Structure 1
């Protein structure tokens, strides 16, 4: 666009065009460009996918819901809450047919994340690094206070009983804390950027953050910066074939076929010819099929490993935060304002 305008200006000067004529020429160029962009956007709109079925689940809460977990016993737990007021969970033990809303007053802050760790224990954390531990599949919870005192966005345990908790403070500061199964901090490392998501494959740990992806293979003794940047990376998807996908709040999607050693940009969030997306989570159920979700009810789908994506027809305007797949293939998605949805692709 800049080169085209420069060429026009040079021609106009050579022909001694008046300022009025120059203005008309430039405006025609801009309008033509905008027309082409509108055609591109319209074409994208026509490619939206209509799902077989969408179901909005009555949750009984207006608090934001941040993370969905399906345990090994097929219990479904959704964590959330009002930022500085409540810790809330939605629990289903019948494959999502009925739900129980559980409040945990002693924690009293929103829960951003949950994982299943050693001995199948459950660990949930969030605002002010309040840590909840359950040894009975979510029936009862014990409260611990991690000495991080920041919003925690991710938690995961490796096979050697090491846990990793990541935090974020206004996307300007982050902490990786290594913990044991009792919630005791063994080590802390600080970073000058926020940390958003964590994924494990055995002893290999990946963490996404503001402008960076980190990786460790030695229980967090050292962390490697991977060769990827230019977005606030909000979520990671990983398959057991060493394939990685990451998405960002700036609308980009990247893919790695070698456990993060090299990256391919699949979607450029800064492109002026693409719709503006804000991604919050991404999932791949195999090496080819995946979904990414985000603000304003955004869901996109791929069946070619991310080479191309199509939007799912919008069924809510609420922001979407977490997505997982249930045993029957149905997608379970949670989000803002108590939103919980089932989607049959």
Structure 2
């Protein structure tokens, strides 16, 4: 009898959670599919100004893709770079405007003419880099890893020369530098901070997820999401963290999150598997799910120059969203 009562309570908890999910389901004012001209994965989106933007991706062992828009993200053209030949996971711009990408097996493309032409460089370390930052015009950092228990960090010059390299026992997923000295990396059970341009890194007090992405709104306010569905916020530059969504809570939907974006202090989005877009309008206190316009995993989210959202993901999934 006692076991039966416990079982009924568990069922009621799940039913309550499902009912809450349906009640909180949001609807887009407009969700428009963008022609990506590819069935490959789109991993990262970057806008340089009101008209020019890039999206990068490909297939891990086969293709390196760069999509370019000249009209603020409404239409895109695709170029594939066989000399790189590995999936491009990230793209960044240095202070002088030079663009850099990073690919699996330490392949790098760079452009000094806003993407009109790209130069290929094979880095000497041959590591599975997944994220890149160029906080100065001459010095960049790359991080990556595989299989949860291997990670790597490389310092690279604008000429593609790797000046130093280090390996760690946990996968690293993303690096974001706020200036030439201060930055963060996130990965499997870790977020670390540097205050000396990446020469040394300090572990921060957060470790309960495989952290996949960060949104650094300013030096104090940092958001991060994890593959297990957790979302954390720091308001003191990473010294302390508040869990805004518990991915291990059995009473709420199970999410796998890949990217996070806040458009202001209160409004934020996270994207993930099976077309998930979840949203908060109260600074992360509550998260609501949008109705799903695709079943493809969404890997990245960015804000278009006019304020729309653009998301990209697997199988060439590419959408423009209006809330």
Bin the TM-score by the shorter chain: over 0.9
From 260, 265, 272, the counterpart of 1:287: 265
Secondary structure at 2:274 match in 1: helix
Q: Which is strand-richer, 1 or 2?
A: 2
Moved over 4 A (4+): none
Partner SS, residue 97 of structure 1: coil
Question: Which residue in 1 is equivalent to 2:46?
Answer: 69
The aligned residue for residue 94 of structure 2 is: 117
CA contact 1:214–1:223 (8 Å) conserved in 2 = yes
Q: Name the SS for the 1:34 alignment partner.
A: helix
Query: Which one of 135, 139, 156 corresponds to residue 133 of structure 2?
Result: 156
Mapped to 2, the partners of 1:69 and 1:222 lie a distance apart of: 28
User: Residue 197 of structure 2 corresponds to which residue in structure 1?
Assistant: 219
5+ unaligned residues in a row in structure 1: which ranges? Answer: 1-23
| Structure 2 residue matching 1:276: 3-state secondary structure | coil
Alignment of 1:82-121 (within 5 A): 82-121=59-98
Which structure shows the bigger proportion of residues in helix conformation?
A: 1
Q: Distance in 2 between matches of 1:71 and 1:104?
A: 21
Structure 1 residue 73 displacement after superposition: 6.6
What is the SS of the residue equivalent to 1:317? coil
Q: CA deviation at 1:193?
A: 0.5
TM-score (norm 2): 0.96
2:33 aligns to what? Answer: 56
In the alignment, does 2:284 pair up with 1:306? yes
Check conservation: 2:63, 2:85, Cα contact below 8 A: yes
State how many pairs are aligned: 322
Computing the radius of gyration from Cα coordinates, the structure with the larger value is 1
Give the secondary structure class of the aligned counterpart of 2:105. helix
In 1: Cα distance, 2:215 partner to 2:63 partner: 29
Structure 1 position 188 matched with structure 2 position 170: no
Over aligned residues, Cα RMSD in angstroms? 1.4
Pair 1:229-2:239 in alignment: no
1:126-183 per-residue CA deviation (whole Å, 9 max, x = no partner) reads 1111100111111111111112323211101114642110011222111111112222
Pick from 47, 50, 55 the counterpart of residue 78 of structure 1: 55
- Secondary structure at the residue paired with 1:120? coil
Structure 1 equivalent of residue 235 of structure 2: 257
Q: What is the TM-score of this pair, normalised by structure 1?
A: 0.90
Residue ranges of structure 2 left out of the alignment (5+ in a row): none
Contact 1:116 1:123 in 2 (8 A): yes
